Structure 1
Amino acid sequence: MNKVQQFWIDFCAENHKEGIKFKDAFQFGVSADWLADLVVEGKKTATTSGFVFYELEKEAIPQAGEYYIVLDGQEEPVAVIQIHSVEVVPMNEVTEEYALAEGEGDYRFWWDAHEKFFTDLLKEYNMEFSPNMLVVCERFEKVYSK
């Protein structure tokens, strides 16, 4: 049994959630340790990803109610989150209130960081960033950490 599976078993046992499964285990963005810490501290309660990447990878977008395990930069499990809501909107329509829920800084910081991240990632697919590109806005709650 690996560390991620054991982390999930511990969460289920402590929270009487036997019989349910987590959707995936993942790292946030390019600063995995910092972002994982923000989740553990309860400061990060939202995340934004590019809708086009779900299409390109033929993956379903997250759904309300799903559980995910957040990994740090060393791929160690640090938290379980549960998705509360998912919206697909143009990036230039993301509200300041939502951007602040990501816990990383002010709206300008959020915009600049996401524009750079999406620009770099889109280049790998020979695509260009557009301010009105569709993004997946997820709100979540940390439901477990050690």
Structure 2
Amino acid sequence: MDIETFWQDFKNRHPEIKTDHHDTYAMGSTDENATILAHLIARGIKTATTSAVDLYGPDEPLPFVGEYNVILDGHDQPICVTQTKVVETIPFNQVSAEHAYHEGEDDRTLASWRREHRAFFQAVYQQEGRTFTEEIPCCCEVFERID
């Protein structure tokens, strides 16, 4: 199903939702990872995510409370809809164990969260010709699967 049809079907099932605004994206650095993460979200295991604030483009808005998101798998197929409930900007080295747990990945510990996110951010920062530090501002988002 294409994304717009998926979104319209979602809105038809949820007539209380009056907005047409939604963000659409896949998570992760590979198609395989995107599919795994999308299914963790669909199952309600993954209820949070983290992005590097300073890697957003000048015209790319940060997530905001109340925003709806169509989550895609690694084949750009819509899997579910989430709504953002909390957005906080926190330095990488101050992200909490609770947030790491809600990300729902690996063993859900802060140690594994830091290891995996450090490697991911280091690679992306290097591609951008920038330097990753432990103090980078992170956008920590908590969401709820709606449908």
Alignment correspondent of 2:86 = 85
Match of 1:46 among 45, 48, 64: 48
Alignment correspondent of 2:9 = 10
User: Residue 108 of structure 1: CA displacement?
Assistant: 1.3
Distance 2:99 2:89 in 1: 13
Q: Tell whether the 8 Å contact from 2:48 to 2:142 is kept in structure 1 after alignment.
A: yes
The runs of 5 or more residues in structure 2 that have no matched partner are: none
User: Residue 22 of structure 1: CA displacement?
Assistant: 3.3
Distance 2:58 2:124 in 1: 13
User: Residue 57 of structure 1: CA displacement?
Assistant: 4.3
Count the aligned residue pairs: 142
Alignment correspondent of 1:22 = 21
User: Residue 23 of structure 1: CA displacement?
Assistant: 2.5
Q: Secondary structure at the match of 2:76?
A: coil
TM-score of the pair, normalised by structure 2: 0.92
The runs of 5 or more residues in structure 1 that have no matched partner are: none
Of stretches 16-25 and 41-50 in structure 1, the one that deviates more from structure 2 is 16-25
1:60-99 equivalences in 2 (<5 Å):
60-99=61-100
Distance 1:93 1:107 in 2: 10
Match of 2:113 among 110, 113, 116: 110
**AA in 2 matched with 1:12:** K
Q: Tell whether the 8 Å contact from 2:23 to 2:67 is kept in structure 1 after alignment.
A: no
User: Residue 45 of structure 1: CA displacement?
Assistant: 0.5
Distance 2:37 2:83 in 1: 16
Q: CA RMSD in A?
A: 1.3
**AA in 1 matched with 2:80:** A
Of stretches 17-26 and 97-106 in structure 1, the one that deviates more from structure 2 is 17-26
Identical-pair percentage: 34
TM-score of the pair, normalised by structure 1: 0.92
Distance 1:22 1:11 in 2: 13
Distance 1:80 1:22 in 2: 12
Q: Tell whether the 8 Å contact from 1:22 to 1:69 is kept in structure 2 after alignment.
A: no
Q: Secondary structure at the match of 1:114?
A: helix
